Amino acid sequence: MSSINDFAFKIATVNGTGSASANSLLMQAIFRMGIPVSGKNVFPSNIQGLPTWYEIRVSKHGYTARPSEMDLVVALNPETYAKDVAAVRPGGYLLYDSSWPLNDALRREGITILGVPFGTMCVEAFEGDRARTLMRNIAYAGALAALLKIDMDLVGSMLNEKFAKKRALLDSNFKAIKLGYDYAMAHFDCPLSFHLDRMDATSDWILLDGNSACGLGAVFAGATVGAWYPITPSTSLMEAFKEYAERYRVDKATGQRKYCLIQAEDELAAAGMVLGAGWAGARAFTSTAGPGISLMSEFVGLGYYAEIPGVFVDVQRTGPSTGMPTRTQQGDLLSIAYLSHGDTKHIALFPANPEECFYLMVQAFDLAERFQSPVFVVTDLDIGMNDWMCRRLKWDDSYRPDRGKVLGPAELAEVKKFARYADTGGGIPARTLPGVHPKGAYFTRGSGHTSQATYTEDSDEYREVMDRLARKLATAADAVPEPEIDAQDGAALGIISIGGCHAAVREALQQLRAEGIAADYMRIRGFPFGKSVGAFLAQHRRCFVVEQNRDAQLRSLLAIETGTSPEKMIPVLDYGGLPLAAGYVVSEISRQLRLLQQQSVASGELTGAYVGGAMRGVE
Amino acid sequence: MTSIQKPPVRHPSLQQNALGLTKRDYEGAMSTLCAGCGHDSVTAALVQAFWELDVPPHRAAKLSGIGCSSKTTAYFMKQSHGFNAVHGRMPAVATGANAANKNLVYIGISGDGDSLSIGLGQFCHAIRRNVNLLYVLENNGVYGLTKGQFSASADIGSKSKGGEANVQPPIDPVLLALTLGATFVARSFSGDKAQLVPILKAGLRHQGFGLIDIISPCVTFNDHEASTKSYRFTRQHQTEMTAVDFVPLRREITADSETDGAGTVSVTMHDNTVVRLRKVAEDYNPTDRDAAYAHIRAMQQKKEIATGLLYIDSSGNDMHAVNRTVDRPLVEIPFAELCPGSNALDSLMEEFR
């Protein structure tokens, strides 16, 4: 099979041995050759020693989802040989370190096995165990450059950029890469049938991870207080905020900071700090993952009831409990929607990629202040920690923060008596900030309160505030981002998805349509669901709901919130912890469609009745 | 109901402070605590302290957790923003609020259950961060709202109303704060307003975390014979280490005009006010952390309660000094100074290629 700019390969190494820099070098080189590329880091919860993989997909069509099969696997970790050799597609290639005899685990019919003596070459060329190990993990990049036709001049200039001030490192890295490159050129028929060829498809694009995008979004949105507790996979989000705040928010003359970043003692405290800062008038946020969300639930309930703005980013990882900290999932959807005890409901935004992380992060601060409530930005490990190809981020300088209904000193001077929790329209009350005006003072509490912010145990007074809160969240449903809808003329079949599934579902949709299955697509972007979500469900006879958790949480939310019968929504679930691949979506939807067809035949219904004649191409 | 509105009766001859406000202007809603509760005396002392310091009520922020003590933020300064947070989590809310607006006067009111059990972690970390906050711990050794369980500050052998003896060792917030590096540590007694008011004033002026542990007896559940947190026991066993003379700016006596005698220690606060400590116990040094710790501990062995301003270090850096935050409160910085803008973003994009 000859395919130019359309293949995938992965590298299996041991965590902590320096392969990360080789992998990002490879990906960046392909990107700079103008070819669409994406990388998925599959890494362990470990500092050194456990297996790690890096998957790179090259797609001239611009598909960025995790690949369904591997054309080439670089197997440098004996512990995972069996798994790695099995991952090669029939007719594909395996690259191994031939310093040692071929391990039995690596033998397989129907694939081509290529050996490069990386270890031996590096022992001869470098001094010291650490350097030899590290350089072995750079050398494979050279072999791949030869096999896949990566521009070596480009690699050289990238190394120059990276090690501009570290001459010795530059020399040794380039030497290692050359070792791998020259060996492959001399011993193999380079390039392989699948390889790279320069394109011009990336000049308007960047490589960006969602955590950096969220951190950057917080800086641009004017957030001044960040409070957090380190947790995988959200840690790099606050580190990004710190990096950009240090760059853009430090007074040049005094060295003083226009932000306050607090590493809290736990997620409970982090959430409390966000609410304290929001109450005092700052744009404040935290980033966490599922275990942190569980701890924050107490304060989030307070934020909902006492009506305090704050942005909470959940970079989801595999649950329940500690789960698999370095694997991805969408397992927090239900808990976030109604987090905390009592009647609560929260505004949540679901970016599908790092680009959207940036913009939705800004919008989250606006919504938090307009609705005086915690707002969640829900991403996942795949979006948060992997580099995605995104369009260059743009900023509109006419943007002004939506601070919501905040009464200033002039307005307060006019007010006869300020009622903090009275409806001023759409269920939204007016708020005041401490220190502004004596007439603005009120008592913030999580206990029962009246529209005047006084304590109450009276049923009617309690219900007045609770009913207004319900109205407020109903108003929010119309203010959160609309779903992205891609409709075909008259398709009776719908596919619904959310967040990081988008890339794979979008690709799957193209394949399904190519196979003659007409389907409309809706990607959820906000909660509470706006009217168009219910309308989409109503317009389609059957909907597949694609999500990454075991219990079909999005499907449950859709059933609860829109009243749609669960029968009508068929779950497509992928919850093993790896980013979603389009192949799985296609095969699962095809399989379910066949089942439906069989059922309808068995029950005497007309063939294809469920899917409205959209069954062409499916048996 | 946790609060009852007070009748708006004003006496024309009430004394005014520098802002032209009377003490009535520093009061809050009517207390719903039990008659004789130590916490109400603390509230009265707070009213006095804020009034004497001429703090504009709307420039103060009152924060608390959950429990009898935490209700008291509603009973003073009704023109201040108040925040009744969740149980044991007042320090986090205060930390966030202070991060956002450092120019307000922050007072946190908590109790022994709120601070030493459910909120022990937050209490410790607020001290570590040296958040500029006066932390008032109204300590009665008992859970009142849930009707009489021992708290973590109950002494071994102290008995409940039903006669059961506490068997677990107490957590002493004063000793704990000293080990954690607190820069202002005091202990007082709700029944000793003369001692309490100057300490509160000094604590409000302290730049950083100030802890005042106030023995504040629970008349309903822990004021009986066999209790070590009763009015009687506290009166009999408290020994004043230092007496505080708080010298506010406008009546400042310069160090030159009055030299410290052997029995006096003067500490100049961040805002140049002076706290003068008269050493009642001659051998006590309130500026030596380790010596103070040893002294208080030794007294505890003899069942004596050391009170007064027990330790002070006015040179410490508060959270914002450590963070190097700008002088303006963060909430007052205009958006244009916070957002890097399109040009910055455009050039940043080159780094992602």
3-state SS, chain B, equals CCEECCCCCCCCCCCCCCCCCCHHHHECCEECCCCCCHHHHHHHHHHHHHHHCCCCHHHEEEEECCCHHHHHHHHECCCCEEEECCCCCHHHHHHHHHHHCCCCEEEEEEEHHHHHCCCHHHHHHHHHHCCCEEEEEEECCEECCCCCEECCCCCCCCECCCCCECCCCCCCHHHHHHHCCCCEEEEEECCCHHHHHHHHHHHHHCCCEEEEEEECCCCCCCCCCCCCCCHHHHHHHEEECEEEEEECHHHCCCCCCCCCCCCEEEEECCCCCEEEEEECCCCCCCCCHHHHHHHHHHHHHCCCEEEEEEEECCCCCCHHHHHCECCCCHHHCCHHHHCCHHHHHHHHHHHHC
Kindly report the nearest CA distance between residue A464 and chain B, in angstroms: 18
How many folded domains does chain B comprise? 1
What pLDDT, in 10s, does the model give residues A530-539?
999 999 999 9
Among B2, B327, B338, beta carbon nearest to A249 = B338
Of the partner residues B58, B83, B325, the one whose CB lies closest to the CB of residue A437: B58
- pLDDT given at position B3: 57
Strand pairing class (A542-547; A569-573): parallel
Let me know if residue B53 belongs to a domain. yes
Q: Between chains, do B330 and A268 touch, taking CB under 8 Å as contact?
A: no
- Stretch A486-511: mean pLDDT: 96
- Specify the pLDDT at position A168: 87
Phi, psi values for residue A29, rounded to 5°: -65, -45
Q: Which of residues 134-163 of A touch B (CB under 8 A)?
A: none
Between A257, A440, A457, which is nearest B326 by CB?
A: A257
Chain B contact present for A245, CB below 8 A: no
Q: What is the CA radius of gyration of chain B?
A: 21
> C-alpha angle A578/A525/A388, rounded to 5°?
45
Do A275 and B80 count as a contact with CB atoms less than 8 A apart?
no
Question: What residues in A contact B73, CB-CB < 8 Å?
Answer: 443
Please confirm whether the linkage preceding A528 is cis (ω < 30° from 0): yes
- Which residues of A fall within a CB distance of 8 Å from B129? 262
Any B CB within 8 A of A264 CB: yes
Could you give phi then psi for residue A51, rounded to 5 degrees? -65, 145
Give the whole-number percent of chain A exceeding pLDDT 70.
97
Residue A400 CB neighbour total at 10 angstroms? 11
Contact B100 A206 (CB under 8 A): no
Band of pLDDT at residue B254, cut at 50, 70 and 90: very low
Coil, helix or strand for A24?
Answer: helix
Q: How far is B96 from chain A (nearest CA, A)?
A: 4
Residues of A in contact with B92 (CB under 8 A): 264, 268-273, 276, 299
Strands A388-391 and A443-445: unpaired
Smallest Cα–Cα separation from A373: which of A424, A300, A427? Answer: A300
Q: Is residue B23 part of a domain?
A: no
Whole-angstrom distance, CA of residue A504 vs CA of residue A580: 6
In a domain, B49, yes or no: yes
Residue from A390, A395, A396, A447 whose CB has the most chain B CBs within 10 Å, to mutate: A395
Stretch 396-425 of chain A: residues touching chain B, C-beta under 8 Å:
396-397, 399-401
Instruction: Flag whether B187 is in a domain.
Output: yes
- Structural domain containing residue B229: 34-239+282-315
**Which residues of chain A neighbour B82 with C-beta distances below 8 Å?**
441-445
pLDDT in tens, B172-200: 999 999 999 999 999 999 999 999 999 99
Taking the CA of residue B106 and the nearest CA in chain A, the distance in Å comes to 11
B24 lies in a domain? no
Sheet arrangement for strand B81-84: A443-445, B81-84, B60-64, B105-111, B133-139, B209-215, B184-189, B305-312, B238-240
In this predicted structure, the answer to whether residue B285 has a pLDDT above a threshold of 70 is yes
CA distance A411 to A407: 6
Residue B273: inside a domain: no
Average pLDDT over residues A197-219: 97
Name the closest residue on chain B to residue A441, using Cα atoms: B81
With 80 as the cut, is the pLDDT of residue B292 above it? yes
pLDDT reported for residue B261: 62
Quote the minimal CA–CA distance from B242 to chain A in Å.
34
pLDDT reading at B112 higher than 50: yes
CA separation (Å) from A575 to A231, A331, A581?
Answer: 21, 8, 12
Q: Taking CB atoms and an 8 Å limit, are B96 and A275 in contact across chains?
A: yes
Q: CB of A270 within 8 Å of any CB in chain B?
A: yes
Contacts of A259 in chain B (CB under 8 A): 325, 330
Alpha-carbon distance of A94 to A73, in angstroms, equals 5
pLDDT at A25: 94
Distance from chain centroid for Cα A384: 4
What residues in B contact A438, CB-CB < 8 Å?
56-58, 79
Check CB contact of A368 with chain B, cutoff 8 Å. no
Contact A440 B58 (CB under 8 A): yes
| pLDDT tens for each residue of B145-171 | 998 999 999 999 999 988 999 999 999
Q: What is the CATH number of the domain that holds B205?
A: 3.40.50.970
Report yes or no: A455 and A449 within 8 Å, Cβ to Cβ: yes
The pLDDT of residue A466: 98
**Distance between CA atoms of residues A429 and A404, nearest Å:** 10
Condensed to tens digits (0 to 9), the pLDDT of residues A289-319 reads 999 999 999 999 999 999 999 999 999 999 9
Averaged confidence pLDDT in chain A: 95
Residue A613: pLDDT band by 50, 70, 90 thresholds? very low
Q: Do B81 and A435 touch (CB under 8 A)?
A: yes
- With CB atoms and an 8 Å threshold, state whether B96 touches A220: no
Residue of chain A whose Cα is closest to the Cα of B96: A273
In chain A, what residues touch B324 (CB-CB under 8 Å)?
255-257
DSSP H or E stretch at residue A619: none
Rounded Cα–Cα distance for residues A607 and A601 (Å): 6
Which class for B223: exposed (0-12), middle (13-18), buried (19 or more C-beta within 10 A)?
A: buried
CA distance to partner chain B, nearest, from residue A115 (Å): 32
Check whether B255 has a pLDDT greater than 90: no
pLDDT of A391-448, one tens digit each?
Answer: 999 999 999 999 999 999 999 999 999 999 999 999 999 999 999 999 999 999 999 9
Question: In this predicted structure, what is the pLDDT of residue B258?
Answer: 46
Per-residue b or e along B272-285, where b marks 16 or more CB atoms closer than 10 Å to that residue's CB: ebbbbbebebeebb
Q: List the single residue in B with minimal CA-CA distance to A281.
A: B331
Alpha-carbon distance of A596 to A594, in angstroms, equals 5
Determine the pLDDT at residue B4: 65
Is there a contact between A454 and B3 if contact means CB atoms under 8 Å apart? yes
Mean of per-residue pLDDT scores for chain B: 91
Closest CB to A279: pick one of B83, B86, B341: B83
pLDDT of residue B11: 72
Are B326 and A258 an interchain contact pair (Cβ–Cβ within 8 Å)?
Answer: yes
Nearest CA distance, A553 vs chain B (angstrom) = 29
Closest among B174, B171, B151 to B222, alpha carbons compared: B151
Within a domain: B226: yes
Q: Which residue of A has its CA nearest to B326?
A: A256
Q: Which residues contact A55 (CB under 8 A, 6 or more apart)?
A: A8, A9, A10, A39, A40, A42, A66, A67, A70
Query: Would the pLDDT of B219 be above 70?
Result: yes
Domains of chain A by start residue, with CATH: 6-187 (3.40.920.10), 208-391 (3.40.50.970), 409-477 (no CATH), 484-602 (3.40.50.920)
| A208 vs B contacts (CB less than 8 Å) | 352
Tokens of A113: 């096995």
For A282, the closest of B58, B61, B330 (CB atoms) is B330
Residue B89 lies in a domain: yes
A462 touches chain B (CB under 8 A): no
| The pLDDT of residue A602 | 82
Per-residue confidence (pLDDT) for residue B265, from 0 to 100: 81
If pLDDT is split at 50, 70 and 90, which confidence band does A605 have?
A: low
Q: pLDDT at position B246, please?
A: 76
Distance CA B89, CA B95 (A): 10
pLDDT band at B8 (very low <50, low <70, confident <90, very high): low
Confidence class of residue B256 from pLDDT cuts 50, 70 and 90? Answer: very low
| Distance between B7 CA and the closest CA of chain A, angstroms | 17
Integer Cα distance of A370 and A271 in angstroms: 19
Q: Do A207 and B122 touch (CB under 8 A)?
A: no
Q: Given an 8 Å threshold on Cβ–Cβ distance, is B81 in contact with A397?
A: no
* Nearest alpha-carbon partner for B220 in B14, B22, B37, B19: B37
CA distance from start to end of chain B = 62
| pLDDT mean over B59-78 | 96
Among chain A residues, CA nearest to B81:
A441
Say yes or no to pLDDT of B262 above 70.
no
Contacts of B331 in chain A (CB under 8 A): 224, 280-282, 433
Q: Does residue A25 belong to the interface with chain B, where contact is any CB pair within 8 Å?
A: no
SS3 A543: strand
Residue A36, SS3? coil
B330 vs A224, A271, A273: nearest CB: A224
Closest listed residue to residue A482, CA positions, set A538, A522, A521 = A522
The C-alpha of A146 sits at a distance from chain B's nearest C-alpha, in angstroms, of 23
| Average pLDDT of the segment spanning A367-385 | 98
pLDDT at A2 over 90: no
DSSP three-state, residue A94:
strand
With tokens 């027990």, the residue in question is B310
Task: Give the model confidence (pLDDT) of A520-533 as tens digits.
Answer: 999 999 999 999 99
Residues A231-249, mean pLDDT to the nearest whole number = 98
Taking the CA of residue B291 and the nearest CA in chain A, the distance in Å comes to 29
CA distance B342 to chain A (A): 5
Q: Which of A32, A161, A208, A225 to mutate to test the interface with B (most CBs of B within 10 A)?
A: A225
**Across the interface, which of A225, A266, A268 has its CB nearest the CB of B96?**
A225
Place of tokens 């329940």: A320
Partner B contacted by A262 (CB < 8 A): yes
Reported confidence tier of residue B215, pLDDT bands at 50, 70, 90 = very high
For residue A398, the tally of other CB atoms under 10 A from its CB is: 6
Paired strand residues for A115: A96
Contact A434 B58 (CB under 8 A): yes
